[in-house]
Structure 1
Amino acid sequence: MHTYIGIEFARGIAAFMVLTSHYAYFLTEERTVLNFLWTGVDLFFVISGFVFAKLIFSSQINVGAFFIKRFFRIYPLYFVSLVIYLLLSGDNAEKVNYFINHIFFLHTTNSREEAFFFNAAFWSLPVEMEFYIFIPILIFFLKKYQKLLFGILIFSMFLKLFLYSHSAHPAINTYDILSVHLIGLLPEFLIGVYLHQLVVFSKNHSKSTLMKWNFISTCLGIALISMLAIYFIKNGDDGLRANILIGGWYNFACALSYAFLLFPLSSIDRWKSSENFHNIFIFIGSISYPVYLVHNAAPRLFQEIGVDMGGVGLFIACTTLTIIASIFLHHYIEEPFRVYGRNLSDKWRG
């Protein structure tokens, strides 16, 4: 599978966006652009759609081999990080039940307390799993009905509005739960799928044409994400809930803006640049998953050992610890299991 260096880099950026949004309170209690960076999760969803688009349109999949690779790519590091948070978590009568539900990716089916008990970032993992399950189904139907994808996108967008309009905020009901699962977030993945098709299409055009498209796409992305960020900073979550269209499609709009920005990044591997430059981008992408999983453990660890620190110092300390831990976890947990899963998948194919 072709590695898009710019997309790998964006994966790393997404992880550090989420990290920064969770560390924002170290620096200020005011709502700033740092808080808006939680939308890095939307960027992750777009990238996931992009990465699997080629497989989706290939009309061919060995389901067993696919799930073996996905399991060993995602689960081992997730489980290790879950144990880390278990050791750092406080006493709670439901902790064991929460842990068991997390093991089976069921932690976003009950309450906010459970979903965020160990690590707030864990909420997006069930969505990813559901997307993987959906991929073989999507391939099956697209094999016969290529144009069905656009219909699914439109339907899922309006389904998201329906779920949002029936939200029981600040309480939690079934519609709220469904909205944070694939049924409510599928449009963001599909934006990534369409982005991949646009990138493939662009390869048939001249360099000058591609440069024009990159410029237009960058301008559109910056303009849209800036408007979305300004709106959030000014109005916060209450502003999103004030209007069904804004609240229901806000994250989709963020995903679309990130897709505009990803388009020029997808052509980085065609730029004339040094190998070291490419290696840095690949490295940032390679530690994205552990950064995303373990960054919320750093503040808890410092608190547990009694480190009295705040502000910029705590931000730098937590970020540094996260990067060091992520490099270790990538080399000794994530990558070995990823290779093992790939080899096992190849054997399954025969």
Structure 2
Amino acid sequence: MGCHEVMDKGTEKEERGSITMTLKEIASMAGVSVATVSYVLNNTAQVSEETRKRVEKIIKETGYRSNILAKSLRTNESFLIGVIVEDITVWHTAHIIDGINEIAEARGYNTILNNLRLLSKIESQFEHISNFQKDIDKAVDVLIGMQVDGIIYVGMHDRKISHVLHDIKKPVVYCYCYTDGEGSSVRYSNEKTVYQMTQMLISNGHKEFGVINGLKGSEPAALRFKGFQRALDEAGIELKPENIVCGNWKYREGKEAAGKLLNKKNFPTAIVAMNDDMAVGVYDAARELGLKIPDDISVTGFDNGDIVQYVTPRITTVERPLQEMGYRSMELLLESIHGTSVGDVNITLPCALIEGESVKNRNESAVYE
């Protein structure tokens, strides 16, 4: 029997070994309507817990598997989402993918991942991504050939990119990066987050600051420093030029930068490191100089990465909403696929302050903002 004959009868036949099941038969066994079985399978409507469990039990016992091909013929969708990641080894990427997959699973979609492996190819020279446009085009061609309904592009560094996914007649969402009018995007707040972190330090009585910034030319580094400087300006606190150093996002260079800040008579009371790797570098530089955290020097980081669990006292840092970025990216893409979006949407999500034990209260009534 052909697919169209199956569709005309309002049934969707499935194979379980040599046994063919239909939605109608599943519904009959469960004592519910075909629509209810469909709701349970696709999680598209409210169904009582008792009914859901009964239907799911029969589905499990019969070995029913949804026929994606039949479903795609009926809805004109493949229920496949392409996910292109610049590099899966960059630690935040896995959390974003997990968020994408969670929403995809809940909405009855599957994802196809294509890893560009760009980290080792361009290192920190993100402006050179155009040199690998052929790799990106190939990944897109593969996904389009698999009839994906849309594509999510996940960056390995938060920045503006241009003409990376071009001439694609499918919905596109950019995550952990953004474009100028080429599609929706989901990012996290850099400037506001460090602004709030610096306000917290000021409210704890700190007036002498040092800062270890990220890579020169990095957009997140520039935005974070802007937020840091804005908080100081509003509080009337002067930042000495010699207290601005660069750690290039790395532990070793962060440690060397911290040594420059701390190896002098009047060193800052607080060092704002623009990521956790550099903050851990401050810890080790302070220890080698016989300084204690937070008694002698307060330190903050950014990321709440795995490295923070290996140092004592716990670093006061920032957690980025990585999984939520995955959620929102998938939701935006589905809205675009189903025609319910209002055009390109650019979302910037707030980060969360993770209060550790690396900040000293230098007055009697410091209040965390």
TM-score, normalization: structure 2? 0.23
Q: 1 or 2, which has the higher helix percentage?
A: 1
Q: 1 or 2, which has the higher strand percentage?
A: 2
Q: Which has the higher contact order (CA 8 A, sep 6+)?
A: 1
